[in-house]
Chains A and B, each alone.
Chain A
Amino acid sequence: MAGSTAQRRRPPASRSGEDATTLPREIGISKEEALETLQVIRQECDSNAVRTGGDPTALRKCTALELLEQEQAQGFVITFCSALDDMLGGGVQLTKITEICGAPGVGKTQLCMQLAVDVQIPECFGGLAGEAVYIDTEGSFMVERVVDIATACVQHCQLIAEAQQEEDHHKALETFSLEGILSHMYYFRCHDYTELLAQIYLLPDFLSEHSKVRLVAVDGIAFPFRHDFEDLSLRTRLLNGLAQQLISIANDHKLAVILTNQMTTRIGQSQSTLVPALGESWGHAATIRLILHWDNNQRLATLYKSPSQKESTVPYCVTPHGFRDVQPPPPSQTPEGSEMNPRKRPRIEEDKQ
């Protein structure tokens, strides 16, 4: 890499293709003197060359200490399911791509809608006070459901405000209302992968205009790519390009990107397993992978891939108020004789452990 940048900023004089190790051998100076010389020449070239607004390579270089400070300062987008938040280390991380895979009906879109509401929670309640971009490729976004989730979230914050009675809580609640939440959720409906590609190309400009956006949700990334694709190498190339763009968007604008993916059946020698769709190479695109699945009647979330958290599985449920923890059953429930669904196994005390 260093060699090629030196070549691009070639000085007008004859010193072409030389670097700090070949130079001393040629003219008999020490390596440090050679490095100084080259740096002086580079600086002169830089001042001559045309700068095209903001050299991004400079921003991407920092020490691990600076990165640590950044990571500790930045917030998370909570999911309202405390077990899931703990498993993720606080919630969905900013500047990272989180992929949510699962079978149909398990709750991926519910989670996306919940996060699109939660990113808007004001800072005094522990949120990010950001806005959300929702890119829908499947048409599963239901406004009525978002209204339910947002109403429950506002009520939750109102309860906190009443309990704690602080000045900034009440002020924040003036803007954190149902209309406010819905107005700050930017919705794009993409019908095929061309529209999706076009939208992702235009996203950086959109984000520069709307700098408060802290979450980009793409629901789902698999649907437009799964059918009608004869040329699989084109698909891989397009998906890789998409992943690269999303990573750079996440980093440059400091926001969280969540993608939902479908599951596909991999037919093995003797059995078939459910694996995330879009193939092996796509598996490298997301930093954090969450797989939602069923176990009898209980929904479970497994952290499948994460650079910093331990792999584990937690239960969650989807209530009329949105994504929530599983409530422990009330202690007064009798195990037999109740008018319950005869197909449900009656809950006995030992089973809870």
Chain B
Amino acid sequence: MASKKLRRAGLAQELCERLSRHQINTCHDFLCVSFLELMKVTGQSYQNVQKLLCKVSRACAPKMQTAYDLKMKRAVNPFSAFLSTTLDSLDKALHGGVACGSLTEVTGPPGCGKTQFCIMMCVLATLPTSLGGLDGAVIYIDTESAFSAERLVQIAEHRLPNYFVTEEKLVSMTRSIHLYRELTCESVLKRIESLEEEIISKRVKLVIIDSVASVVRKEFDTKLQGNLTERSNFLAREASLLKYLAEEFSIPVSFLFVCLFVFPPPIFEIIQLCAA
């Protein structure tokens, strides 16, 4: 939206050319320039520049929805609003399960079951909607090499023995879980950036990142000057990408943290798994 070219926003051709001579090519550039500068560059009067601003803003502003419209959209398919965790009390606390369209963070000390929880969610996401699943594929970004396919099969067989009776069902379930091993911050970011195409082509319905903290802790030493801002920038970039993906495709994105850090916010729901 922000990088929309000004010509597509409906501005006149020769005005666009004039602006591009001052490196103002997209809506983003136009809105970042001060008012006086715009008047100088376009050579137009105060009222005309205001009208131009409105035109450009209309090209990239979001669409209005009432809260009622939002509710109706969610009500159309109630199962697509949440992915149930099949743990009743947790589902009740989360108002239905892991929310689709937003990020959920799972944190806790080592050994308390975060990866197991994620493996279970993998199984659940591949189930058909009649059984409470999302009937889709899963993308699992693994930075600690903690994912065990044998454990996945074990969980599937024991949790739903009635469903996973045949070998074929197990095979199709495991085939729809796509595992990526990434070991550096940069590769994690690259992978997330490439996810959009994968989500569409593979019909992905759940994205799990296990874990965000391990790569960050390896690479950023907060005692060193400047590392804190770099780390914050990296995490914020990651978070905004993930949020965009979650909302655009209305899928739950779940990722793991180790609970020792206090990270700068964006806002997530936090399910804390404590060892007690």
Query: Which positions in A face B, CB cutoff 8 Å?
Result: 52, 103-105, 109, 134, 138-147, 179, 181-192, 194-195, 197-199, 201-202, 205-206, 220, 223, 226-228, 234, 237-238, 241, 262-264, 343
Contact = CB atoms under 8 A, between A and B. Distances in A.
A188 B70 CA distance: 11
Nearest to B232: A227
Interface stretch (B25-33, B124-132, B188-196): B25-33
A262 B265 contact: yes
Contacts of B53: 201
Contact of A187 (B54, B64, B268, B276): B64
A205 B62 contact: no
B66 A138 contact: no
Contacts of A143: 67, 70-71, 74
Interface stretch (B167-175, B176-184, B233-241): B233-241
B62 A190 contact: yes
Given A143-B67, A199-B61, A228 B268 contact: no
B32 A234 contact: yes
B149 interface: no
B267 A104 contact: yes
Nearest to A103: B265
Contact of A262 (B31, B69, B247, B264): B264
Given A143-B70, A183-B66, A192-B2, A228 B57 contact: no
Contacts, number: 132
Secondary structure at the B interface, as helix, strand, loop or mixed, is helix
Interface string B247-267: 100000000000000001111
Contacts of A189: 62, 65, 247
A202 B57 contact: yes
Contacts of A185: 66-68
Interface of B: 1-2, 27-28, 31-32, 34, 47, 53-54, 56-71, 74, 81, 95-96, 99, 101-102, 232-233, 236-237, 240, 243-244, 246-247, 264-268, 270, 276
A198 B60 contact: yes
B185 to A, nearest CB: 14
A230 B273 CA distance: 37
Contacts of A238: 32
A139 B74 contact: no
Contacts of A184: 66
B251 to A, nearest CB: 13
Given A194-B28, A262-B265, A227 B236 contact: yes
A204 to B, nearest CB: 10
A104 B236 contact: no
